[in-house]
Amino acid sequence: MENLLLRFLEYVSIDTQSDSYSKTTPSTEKQWVLAKKLVLELSKIGLDEVSIDENGYIMATLPSNLDKKVPTIGFISHYDTTPDFTGTNVKPKIIANYDGGDIVLDTTNNTVLSPDYFEDLQQYIGQTLITTNGKTLLGADDKAGIAEIITAMEYLVKHPELKHGKIRIGFTPDEEIGRGAHKFDVKKFDAAWAYTVDGSQIGELEYENFNAASAKITIKGKSVHPGYAKNKMINAIGIANEFLSLMPPREVPELTEDREGFFHVHTIKGDIETTIFELIIRDHDEEHFQARKDLLFDIEEKINTKYGDIVSIVIEDQYKNMKEKIEPLFHIIEIAEEAMHKVGVKPIIKPIRGGTDGSQLSFMGLPCPNIFAGGHNFHGKYEYVPLESMHKAVETIVKICELTGEKF
């Protein structure tokens, strides 16, 4: 576990925040710093066919050590971190033998990681927690996954008595802005299936995710002197508020769970003349997902009928529920589930309330469910990961490789 810890701490010290407004791939130049380091490390631990393309996509191979042909499988993680919270100057804290109490992350701002609010902490009493210092995110999403995959491959290289087929490794940029799979060369990767190591708490095994879309709503108003505005002014800010009032108030992230879908308004800016707000649409059910998009267009029509053509909506689909691509190949879930049982991890099979590279990859021809990386509270200053969970992820990856070799 010491090598795993040191590897992870080194990765999170490198800022790899992505940028949704950038048109390049990777979206930020700083992602190349970690990407180039990973290429060197994959070669150093003894993998073959190590490559990085012009867009920052990394691939490598652990050759088969079997005397029979079995399916090639893969493991994939992303090295960018969210643009929503700073990943600059990450300085983790190591909490050994966690006692179950409050963890003061930052005394200056009284930032406390407390089990009274984050109940999952109670699962990890006696373990080693890696936390933030209360000023940045940690970056376990998904540098924990990268550290686990590399550590697992290094272990297999050093233990040739453990039999496995050909294993492919892939690391991607820009997953956090929804582009992680956009330029992934599935044909070059050449695997029968893969696993993204990008889940949260220990035991997670996921093959369902949201159908997802983004929406941009633009409202054009008319600015008139407020003293003479009656029947003349159209305040775009007020119309935006009216639009939002016509959306279902309880179908938001903070009031939904499990397979419940939602609308999430994340950006709004404007003035009387022009107000723009952006939101994401999420639902596991395809029909409900379409109904959500239809609702926005219905509200657009209602407001335009009332005020004239002042509202315009652009909706872009982002990814689909990978369930339909995974269920016909359910043995890939059963292998991961058995691997977890064999290393002493209780599988938690549940839908992802979010997205993953695996969703897009599944529709690109690479079936790709998601397994745990171990972290909690991603994308903010309360993020943490238990070292023991990371170690179990390494063991799970190794066991998946062994079981695939045994079963085919």
Distance, CA of 48 to CA of 65 (rounded, Å): 13
User: Residues in the chain, how many?
Assistant: 408
Q: If you search the block for the tokens 């039999």, which residue do you land on?
A: 163
Catalytic residue among 15, 41, 80, 142: 80
Q: Which of 344, 342, 333, 330 lies closest to 402 in space, CA to CA?
A: 342
CB-CB contact of 333 with 369 (8 Å): yes
Structure tokens at 347: 């599988």
Sign of the dihedral defined by the CA atoms of residues 171, 205, 346, 408, in that order: negative
Structure tokens at 326: 């995974």
Distance, CA of 235 to CA of 80 (rounded, Å): 40
Helices 387-407 and 2-12 meet at what angle, rounded to 10?
Answer: 110
Measured in degrees and rounded to the nearest 5, phi and psi for residue 3 equal -65, -40
Q: How distant, in Å, are the alpha carbons of 33, 205, 252, 281, 284 from that of 294?
A: 43, 32, 17, 11, 16
User: Torsion angle of alpha carbons 400, 354, 25, 194, nearest 10°?
Assistant: 20
Residue 116 falls in the annotated catalytic set: no
Q: Which of 123, 110, 30 lies closest to 389 in space, CA to CA?
A: 123
Catalytic residue among 141, 148, 174, 175: 175
Q: 353: burial class by Cβ within 10 Å (0-12, 13-18, 19+)?
A: buried
Distance, CA of 368 to CA of 205 (rounded, Å): 11
CB-CB contact of 221 with 243 (8 Å): no
Residue 175 falls in the annotated catalytic set: yes
E strand residue ranges, 271-310 = 274-283
CB-CB contact of 194 with 73 (8 Å): yes
Q: How distant, in Å, are the alpha carbons of 84, 199, 278, 338 from that of 257?
A: 22, 17, 22, 27
Distance, CA of 395 to CA of 181 (rounded, Å): 26
As separate numbers, helices (DSSP H) first and strands (DSSP E) second, the chain gives 10, 17
Residues forming the active site:
80, 175
